[in-house]
Amino acid sequence: DAGITQSPRHKVTETGTPVTLRCHQTENHRYMYWYRQDPGHGLRLIHYSYGVKDTDKGEVSDGYSVSRSKTEDFLLTLESATSSQTSVYFCAISVLPFDESGTEAFFGQGTRLTVV
């Protein structure tokens, strides 16, 4: 596996509480992504980063924020968790943007978040 570690791997939290998920990489890849995976929807991009302190929104960014203060860490924060944010969250990394020639994206093992 590529050097990607997601933490925690499982979390149960209550509605209205803040939650932070961490993605840590040892590959020194510039690009990092947060996806959520839900039945019937595949993977949907939440936010991505193209460098330290450089982030942008994906297709389902409402209710989420991110930060990247170091190359190796990309944090996803749910400011006030809601039941609709119950999902499996995946971090991915790539050397170049996905559409660049020869670029492969490597995914972490996922974080299962349950909001009750």
Partner 1 sequence: GENVEQHPSTLSVQEGDSAVIKCTYSDSASNYFPWYKQELGKGPQLIIDIRSNVGEKKDQRIAVTLNKTAKHFSLHITETQPEDSAVYFCAASIKEYGNKLVFGAGTILRVKS
Options 32, 81, 90, 113; binder of partner 1; rule CB under 8 A:
90
**109 touching partner 1, by CB under 8 A:** yes
74 vs 25: CA distance, rounded Å: 9
Q: Verify cis geometry, omega within 30 degrees of 0, for the bond prior to 8.
A: yes
- Kindly tell me the sign of the dihedral angle through the C-alpha atoms of 54, 100, 77, 21: negative
**97 touching partner 1, by CB under 8 A:** yes
**78 touching partner 1, by CB under 8 A:** no
CA atoms within 13 A on the CB side of 108: 30
Pairing of strands 10-13, 111-115: parallel
Instruction: Please report how close the Cβ of residue 62 comes to partner 1 at its closest, in angstroms.
Output: 14
Q: Which letter does DSSP use for residue 84 in this model? A: G
Which amino acid would we find at residue 69?
A: S
Q: Which letter does DSSP use for residue 27 in this model? A: S
Binding map of partner 1 across residues 28-67, x = CB under 8 A, - = no contact: -----x-x----xxxxxx--x-------x-xx--------
Which residue's CB is nearer to partner 1, number 43 or number 75? Answer: 43
**19 touching partner 1, by CB under 8 A:** no
Q: Rule CB under 8 A: which residues touch partner 1?
A: 4, 33, 35, 40-45, 48, 56, 58-59, 90, 92, 97-99, 101, 104-105, 107-110
